[in-house]
């Protein structure tokens, strides 16, 4: 386990964890307003397919990123319509959205499988340019990766330091109280889902445009559910989500390193660790009020109209 190898693990973790972090941030925003999106998997798929298709068709990845973000927002708006305007069950709506995403993404992406796109440029931070090439090549990241930490900080700041964020969290805790205080819970949830969808789309764009540079059906392979677990693991807090995302993707990268070192650890058992860990921390928290989810999460807001 040379330091280079370990640095390689960190580098891989950062690479593959970025899309996960964006998706998690998006889900945090939505869940903080009280809406759980079980269809996140479908949202990510549609965004990934749309973004990849746009990149392939237009020749520029930046258009693809934009399209992916818009696609994510639109998918989330479907959920918003069902859950807010029609007051449907959140879990069922989310699952329906997931199946919708399976089908729509397959259709969008169908003609673009195996298409070649220009990925995002890979840059090293100015200060690190002088490192020996072996180390340097590990630290060449694309712009979306550099943006993810500021984005997490931005999400944190908006949620916890602005009035809009305060309203959002209030709706997530007690929509009736918020309504009595003059807020419009429905509109706030829509906006939260819109923002969340943009972030999820960003994550999906990174996956298909910058990381895998490809599109195949069911490409996200459960990342949506990983993000949902990660939201719980990070206690609905954007900054803790950074650690969680690094841990989750670091486990995968570490397992690959172990493989080649001949260490016989089953990659499947290693895969289960993040979720069992999440379950573990939930049990430890034991339903104490302080660590609970936003109180109205999952409940349909009946409104008072």
Partner 1 sequence: MSSRDRGRAWPRGLQAALRYVAMAVLALALFAVILLLAGKDPIQAYRDIFTSTLGSAYGLSEVFVTMTPLLLTALAVALPSRLGLINVGGEGQLYLGALFATWGALRFSALPAWLLLPLMIVLGMIGGALWALPAGYLRARGIVNETITTLLLNVVAPSIVAYFVFGFWHSPMDTNKTANFAAAARLPTLGGTRINLSLIFGVVLLALFWYVMARTRWGLEMRAIGGNPGAARRSGIPVARYLVGVMMAAGALAGLAGMAQVSGYYGVLLVNFSRGLGYMGFLVSWLAGGTPLGIVVTSFVVAVILTGGNLLQLTGDVPYAVINILLATTLFVVLARPSLPRRRKVA
Partner 2 sequence: MKKKNVLSSLAVLATAALVLAACAPALTPQPLAPTPLAPTSLPAEATAAPTAVPTEAGPCLIIGALYGGPVNDAGYNQAMHESVMAIKQNIDCVEIIEAENVPEEAGATSTMENMIQQGAKMIIATAFNHQYPALELSKKYPDVIFEHAGGWEMGPNFANFFGNPPDTWYLMGKAAGMMTKSNKLGFVAAFPLGWTSTFINAFELGAQSVNPEAETTVAYTFAWGDAAKEADATNSLINQGADVITMHVDSPATVISTAESRGVHSIGFQSLAAQQFAPQHWISGTGYTLGDKLTWLASTVLDGTWQPIFLRCGFQDGCMAFAPYGPEVPQEVKDAVEQAKTDIAAGSLVVFAGPIVDQEGNTKVAEGETLSADAMGSVDWFVKGVNGSPK
289 binds partner 1 (CB under 8 A): no
271 binds partner 1 (CB under 8 A): yes
DSSP 182: T
Residues 6+ away with beta carbon under 8 Å from 105 = 42, 45, 46, 48, 49, 50, 217
Distance, CA of 106 to chain centre: 20
Contact 191, 59 (CB under 8 A): no
Q: CB of 241: closest distance to partner 2 in angstroms?
A: 19
102 binds partner 1 (CB under 8 A): yes
The only residue of 4, 6, 59, 103 in contact with partner 1, by rule CB under 8 A: 103
Choose the contact partner of 167 out of partner 2, partner 1, none; CB within 5 to 8 A by kind.
none
- For 201-244, give the DSSP string: HHHHHIIIIIIS----TTTTTTHHHHHHHHHHHTTT-HHHHHHH
Put residue 301 in one of left, alpha, beta given phi > 0 → left and psi -120 to 50 → alpha.
Answer: beta
95 binds partner 1 (CB under 8 A): yes
270 binds partner 2 (CB under 8 A): no
Using DSSP's 3-state secondary structure scheme, residue 124 falls into coil
Distance, CA of 105 to chain centre: 17
Using DSSP's 3-state secondary structure scheme, residue 33 falls into coil
172-201 mask for partner 2 (x: CB under 8 A)? Answer: --------------xx--x-----------
* Binding to partner 2 in span 96-135, by CB under 8 A: 104, 106-108, 110-116, 119, 122, 134
64 binds partner 2 (CB under 8 A): no
Whose Cβ is closer to partner 1: residue 49's or residue 138's? Answer: 49
Whose Cβ is closer to partner 2: residue 86's or residue 161's? Answer: 86
- Say how many C-beta atoms besides its own lie within 10 A of residue 52's C-beta: 32
Q: Which stretch binds partner 1 (CB under 8 A): 25-33, 137-145, 192-200, 265-273?
A: 265-273
Distances 70 to 46, 48, 275 between C-alpha atoms, Å:
10, 11, 30
In the structure encoding, which two tokens stand for residue 231, read together? 């939201």
217-256 mask for partner 1 (x: CB under 8 A)? Answer: x----x--xx-xx--x------------------------
110 binds partner 1 (CB under 8 A): yes
Choose the contact partner of 97 out of partner 2, partner 1, none; CB within 5 to 8 A by kind.
partner 1
Characterize 80-115 residue by residue with b for buried, 16 or more Cβ atoms within 10 angstroms of its Cβ, and e for exposed: bebbbeeebebeebbebbbebbbebbbebbeebeee
Contacting positions for partner 1 (CB under 8 A): 38, 78, 81-82, 86, 88-89, 91-93, 95-100, 102-107, 110, 217, 222, 225-226, 228-229, 232, 266, 268-269, 271-272, 275-276, 278-279, 282-283, 286-287, 298, 305
């Amino acid at each position: 386990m040379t330091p280079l190898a370990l640095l390689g693990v960190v580098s891989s973790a950062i690479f593959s964890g970025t899309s996960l972090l964006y998706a998690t941030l998006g889900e945090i925003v939505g869940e903080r307003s009280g809406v759980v999106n079980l269809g996140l998997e479908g949202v990510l798929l549609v965004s990934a397919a749309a973004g990849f298709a746009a990149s392939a068709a237009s020749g520029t990845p930046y258009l693809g990123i934009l399209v992916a973000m818009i696609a994510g927002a639109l998918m989330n708006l479907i959920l918003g319509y069902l859950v807010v305007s029609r007051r449907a069950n959140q879990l069922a709506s989310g699952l329906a959205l997931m199946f919708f995403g399976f089908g729509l993404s397959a259709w969008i992406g169908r003609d673009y499988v195996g298409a070649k796109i220009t990925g995002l440029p890979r840059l090293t931070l100015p200060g690190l340019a002088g490192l020996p090439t072996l180390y340097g090549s590990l630290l060449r990241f694309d712009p979306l990766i550099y943006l993810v930490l500021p984005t997490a900080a931005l999400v944190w700041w908006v949620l916890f330091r602005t009035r809009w964020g305060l309203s959002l969290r209030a709706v997530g805790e007690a929509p009736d109280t918020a309504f009595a205080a003059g807020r419009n819970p429905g509109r706030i949830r829509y906006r939260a889902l819109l923002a969340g969808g943009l972030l999820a789309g960003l994550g999906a764009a990174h996956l298909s445009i910058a990381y895998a540079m490809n599109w195949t059906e069911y490409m996200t392979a459960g990342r949506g559910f990983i993000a949902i677990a990660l939201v719980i693991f990070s206690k609905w807090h954007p900054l803790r989500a950074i650690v969680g995302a690094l841990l989750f993707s670091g486990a995968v990268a570490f397992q690959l390193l172990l493989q080649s070192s001949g260490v016989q650890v089953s990659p499947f058992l290693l895969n289960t660790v993040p979720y069992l860990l999440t379950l573990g921390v939930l049990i430890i928290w034991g339903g104490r009020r302080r660590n609970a989810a936003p109180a109205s999460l999952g409940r349909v807001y009946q409104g008072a109209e």
